[in-house]
Amino acid sequence: MTELQKKIEKKLKEAKVDFVCEYMGIDFFKIFIEPYENWDKDPYENHIWKITKSSKVGYTISAIPPSNMFNEIPWEEWFPENGKNNHFLLYTVKKENSTGQWKGELDDKDHPSEVLGYQWYFVPDDNLVPLLLRKK
């Protein structure tokens, strides 16, 4: 394991991402640690990793970029629903492949506070590996 992978593993375990992966039946190392193998720098270093408990789907994982980047870099959310693990990419601008939208109302208790107050356009992603780790 590289030094960066060790650092990321520690950071994500502190955020309880491993716990939610176990809850969802996702291989934490395969999805969130192994993809860092060829990276020298963390493309998620400015993101907030947050776990929330949704009244609708249970535990969710969020990787939230700085708010000034919401148009270009997605808020990524992993959650179980109807027996399937989902990975959504959410932007504050509509993308060609957006399939729906969601308004983060300020009194919402099911999503991270950092994403509330924005109009989001979502893109379902069949690949559970974080998007930015696929771009090297």
Domain ranges (residues) in the chain: 3-134
Output DSSP code: residue 47: P
28, 22 contact by CB (below 8 A): yes
- List pLDDT tens digits, range 108-133: 999 999 999 999 999 999 999 999 99
3-state DSSP call for residue 5?
helix
User: Which of 4, 8, 17 is closest to 128 using CA atoms?
Assistant: 17
What was the pLDDT predicted at 40? Answer: 93
Average pLDDT over all residues of the chain? 95
Distance CA 38, CA 48 (A): 22
Quick one: pLDDT band at residue 98, thresholds 50, 70, 90? very high
What was the pLDDT predicted at 136? Answer: 56
Distance CA 31, CA 34 (A): 7
116, 104 contact by CB (below 8 A): yes
**24: part of which helix (H) or strand (E)?**
helix 17-24
What was the pLDDT predicted at 80? Answer: 95
- Mean pLDDT of the 68-90 span: 95
DSSP assignment of 6-48: HHHHHHHHHTTHHHHHHHHT--HIIIIIGGGTT-SS-TTTTPE
Higher per-residue pLDDT: 136 or 33: 33
